[in-house]
Amino acid sequence: MDLSWMAWTAPTAVFFSAIGTILALMAALYFLRPDGAEPRPGLFFGLATTRGDRLFISLLGSAFIHLAWLGATGYDLKWAAVISFVYAAIVFRWG
């Protein structure tokens, strides 16, 4: 399989590995504590979301945070990652 069209660098591998690990942890958490499958009303967005919905919202928001960071500042992405982690914590807690 020729994958030369994509830049398979170490950061790319870490990114996809992290997403895969998060999905595996969410699946394990579902089997250990299935109560998260029930939608709960959120304060942040004002709609009922499940654990998986909040994961999707936090991943999508993190992508936009990183794109905005690159477009607005051009600085190192470590600060965008910190903002994304804070955003994900807010979404999972109050989202």
Does 9 have pLDDT greater than 90?
no
The reported pTM is 0.78
CA distance 11 to 90: 25
CA distance 94 to 43: 5
Length of the chain: 95
pLDDT digits (tens, 9 = 90+) for 39-71: 888 877 778 888 888 999 999 999 999 999 999
User: In this predicted structure, what is the pLDDT of residue 3?
Assistant: 63
CA count, 13 A, side-chain hemisphere, 76 = 3
User: In this predicted structure, what is the pLDDT of residue 60?
Assistant: 94
Phi and psi for 33 in degrees, rounded to 5? Answer: -135, 80
User: In this predicted structure, what is the pLDDT of residue 20?
Assistant: 92
User: In this predicted structure, what is the pLDDT of residue 85?
Assistant: 93
Domain boundaries in the chain?
A: 10-94
10-27 mean pLDDT: 87
